[in-house]
Amino acid sequence: TKDIGRSEPDFVRSFEFENKLLPLTWVVVRIDGCHFHRFSDVHEFEKPNDEQALKLMNSCAVAVLEEFEDIQFAYGVSDEYSKIVSAIASLFTSTYVIKWGEFFPQKVLKYPPSFDGRAVCYPTYKILLDYLAWRQVDCHINNQYNTCFWMLVKSGKTKTQSQDYLKGTQAREKNELLSNQFGIEYNSLPLIFRMGSSVFRLKEAAAVENGVVSGKKLRLEGEVVVDHCNIIERCFWEEHPHILS
């Protein structure tokens, strides 16, 4: 209007449209690093998998689960993290910044990282498990490709040559390439690279895998733990029934 008077508060507030999640559904909040292709370049992440960077991500997920008790489970690969029931990208980001020095004592954080988040509601736990299985399959496929790609690059091929070389190859051919040319048995690569990371609360005290080399460690009931388990197979969910109830 031509009126110079102020707008009514209700009118102004109406621009803040409510963005509610569907009730009675499984809510997944997916957190993904913004432009981490560049971020990992600038900070010279080990390719294809920088283990410290992955552990920093896991540590942020643990902090989020510890802060938000409604979150039951988190699964992460690369620069992304999926969380069930409410999660806050900003807590994840601030934890990432605060813990950077703990995981990279020799590297200065060169610019502020950010993460985007999106929420999706899944109506049944079956679809939820399909979603998580899809992420873990993706983790495996990407890791297998990236391991081949970076071995080719490190052996002297250009990125374009490596890409062309891998175009159209099947899983078996990729495993054979790794084994025959580079002496790498895909299945002996660290679980954290092949399986991604799952973060959840323990129902009861248990001995849990603690890092790649450090073996098992006793954890207390209710403690938030990181594991690199197969979440596609039903047995994980049957062994941890409290996560989905």
List residues near Mg ion by CB under 5 A.
32-33, 36, 78-80
For 24-36, b/e burial (b = at least 16 CB within 10 A) is eebbbbbbbbeeb
Per CB under 6 A, does 138 bind ligand ATP?
A: no
Report if residue 32 touches ligand ATP, rule: CB under 6 A: yes
Shortest CB 36 distance to ligand ATP, Å: 3
Q: Which ranges of 43-185 does DSSP label H, i.e. alpha helix?
A: 51-67, 89-103, 125-154, 159-166, 171-182
Q: Furthest-apart CA pair in the chain: how many Å?
A: 78
Distance CA 121, CA 29 (A): 9
- What are the structure tokens assigned to 109, written together? 């954080």
At residue 56, what is the residue type?
L
Angstrom distance (rounded) from CA 195 to CA 3: 62
Stretch that binds ligand ATP, among 41-49, 63-71, 147-155, 183-191 (CB under 6 A): 41-49
CB of 37 to ligand ATP, least distance (A): 3
> Out of ligand ATP, Mg ion, none, which partner does residue 176 contact, by CB within 5 to 8 A per kind?
none
- Considering the rule CB under 6 A, would residue 33 count as an interface residue with ligand ATP? yes
One symbol per residue from 90 to 129: x for binding ligand ATP (CB under 6 A), - otherwise; what is it?
--------------------------x-------------
* Residues in contact with ligand ATP, shown as a per-residue x/- string from 202 to 231 under the rule CB under 6 A: ------------------------------
Contact 66, 224 (CB under 8 A): yes
Determine which residue in the list 12, 21, 22, 34 makes contact with ligand ATP, applying CB under 6 A: 34
CA 119 to CA 98: how far, in whole Å? 25
Among 31-39, 124-132, 165-173, 208-216, the segment contacting ligand ATP (CB under 6 A): 31-39
Distance CA 36, CA 56 (A): 14
Nearest CB to ligand ATP, comparing residues 64 and 129: 64
Name the one residue in this structure whose structure tokens are 């374009």: 160
Applying CB under 6 A, which residues contact ligand ATP? Answer: 32-37, 40, 45, 47, 49-50, 53-54, 78-79, 116
